[in-house]
Structure formats: C-alpha cells, structure tokens
Structure 1
Amino acid sequence: MSPHGGGDRFAVDEPTPWVLGLFVTAFHALFATLLLVGVYDLIGGFVTWLGLLAVLVVAGGLGWTLWDLRDRPVWRWIVWGALIGLLAGLGSSVALMALGR
C-alpha cells in the first residue's frame, strides 16, 4: 500500500522533474511526427491512400502499445510526447494528402 493512500503502485516520493520531462516530451513528439511524415512520404510517393493507410497502422499500433505505459513515472514523458507526435504526424499526413503531395 502506498503512503499516499489507495493502491497506487507507481507512487514515488521524489519531486517531478518538469524541465527535463518536458524536454523529453518535446523531443519524442518531434521524433514521432517526423517518423509518420516520413512513412507517408515514402509510401505515399507511390500511392497516396496507401501512405495514409500505413500512417494509420503505425500510429494505431504504437499508440495502442504505449497507452499502457502512460502512468509509469519515467515512461510517462516519453509516452505523452510520442502520443502528441503521433497525432501531429497523422494530422500532417492528412494535410499532405489533401494538398496532393
């Protein structure tokens, strides 16, 4: 049982590293965004709708996998950055497809 009450098995008594955590989140958001735009550019160069389908598969698979780690003390920064990046990459891919690129 945690000293904070309840059954929070991930509770820690250390201060939250906001500066480093937000840096890690921003880095992983940028990485995930560029990853999905790269996947779309690579596959969408041949068939645009297939590029968007590939982005949906990658974003769905990574998002579903990372969702379970979102409450862990260290992983939460990486996970939330990646999830933000996946949404941004998906939106960017849809915008690129709408522009005909």
Structure 2
Amino acid sequence: MELRAKGERAVLVGDDGTGAREVDVDSLALGGELTAALHEWAKVVHAVRRSVPAGAPDPEPESGDSATAVVSRRGHQLAERVAAVMGAPVRYEDPLSGEVSIVEPPVAAEAEPATAAEPAEPTPWGTGLLVAGFSLALVLFAVLTLAITLYETNPLLALLSNAVISGGLLPSVWLARNVPTWRWVAVGVAAGIALGWLALPFIVFG
C-alpha cells in the first residue's frame, strides 16, 4: 500500500487484484489520533504546495526550506506508524520531493525462550515417614496418658479430653497438610489422634 496526500486528505492506495484502489484513512482501524495526524499532515502538504508559484517545481526538503523538511520527515514518521498498525510495508512517496521509500513494519522482538521447568524434587519418604512416626508416637502417648489419668477420676473426662485434644489439633493439621516438612508432622499427628480414639474404648470399657 502507498501513503498519499490528496488535497487536504490523507489516503492509502493499494492493489486489490483488479487495480489500484484508493481508501480514505478514516475507514481504516488506525485509531483516532493517528487518523487525525495523517489528515493534519495532508493539510500542511496542501498549504505548502499552494505556496509554490504555478509552474515552479515543488520545493526540495534539502533546499534549506525548514517547513518543507519538517513536512517530509513528518510524512515518513506517519508512514512508519501506519506500517506498524497495519503490519505491512507502506510505500511512501514524498509529496514534495517525489522521493520514494518503502517503510517496513517494526520487527517484533523475539520471545525469550521459555525457562525449562525445574525438575520436581523427589519425595523424601524415608525422612518423612520417620518424622510422621515420631509425631504419631508423641501424640498417641500424650492422648492415652491423659485419658488414663482422667479416667481414674471420671470416665467421661477421658472422653472429653480426647475431644478437646482432637478439636485443638485438627485445624493445625489441616493447614499444614500441604506445607513441605510440616505435612509429615500433620500426618503423624492425625494418625496419633485416630489411634487414640480407637484405643479409647479399651480404656473406658476395659
């Protein structure tokens, strides 16, 4: 496609297979700010052209005319923006000098290679089961010792002590179930509480 200034309007000209077709930039999804900038540039080009006497050649940007140089640079910058938005090369013919250039869309930065996923650490079954076993023994010993001591006073107190210990420890067990290292402690504590309840009938009714 080619960016042109036609009168006071900016247009894009492209070949649709049947010939050159002129499209007003207002009909393209270029964004309001870019569209307005294109038409403003076209108006300045039109004004510069009108300031040139009839029959005189168009002013060259290199001639020292600062306004002409600014118009030419501005047109090239807008062509770069259009190429970036459209994702396609834009042919830009300087409306004052006639110089033609092809503006390529910016090359997208290459995506950084995905970081290889770190291999999962092996589950420490040996150490974990040792910690779980120690926790189980400690909790079971504490539950049974308290239950036996309270049973001598009142059998219902043995049952109540188990309920209090279970209610106090289970929330912590639930929170620690997915925490590394502490999950093994949680397994041991849960198992100790469960075995304590299984052993309680033998204490109460034994």
Shorter-chain TM-score tier: 0.7 to 0.9
| Alpha-carbon separation, structure 2, partners of 1:77 and 1:15 | 15
Q: 1:58-84 CA distances to partner (integer Å, 9 max, x unpaired)?
A: 112111222111111111100001100
Q: Give the length in aligned residue pairs.
A: 90
Pairwise CA distance, 1:19: 0.5
Equivalent in 69, 77, 80 of residue 176 of structure 2: 69
Q: 1:10-41 CA distances to partner (integer Å, 9 max, x unpaired)?
A: xx932211101111111111111111001101
Tell me the percent identity.
28
Q: How does 1:25-64 map to 2 (within 5 A)?
A: 25-64=132-171
Runs of 4+ in 1 over 4 A off after TM superposition: none
Local SS of the residue matching 2:120: coil
Aligned Cα root-mean-square deviation (Å): 1.8
Native 8 Å contact 1:33 1:85 kept in 2: yes
Native 8 Å contact 1:36 1:93 kept in 2: no
Q: Return the TM-score normalized by structure 2.
A: 0.41
Q: Return the TM-score normalized by structure 1.
A: 0.80
Please list every run of 5 or more consecutive structure 1 residues that lacks an aligned counterpart in the other structure: 5-11
Instruction: Tell me: higher relative CO, structure 1 or 2? Use CA pairs within 8 A at least 6 residues apart.
Output: 1
| Alpha-carbon separation, structure 2, partners of 1:44 and 1:65 | 27
| Alpha-carbon separation, structure 2, partners of 1:54 and 1:43 | 8
Partner of 1:98: 205
Please list every run of 5 or more consecutive structure 2 residues that lacks an aligned counterpart in the other structure: 1-115
Give the structure with the higher percent strand: 2
Q: Which entry has the higher C-alpha Rg, 1 or 2? A: 2
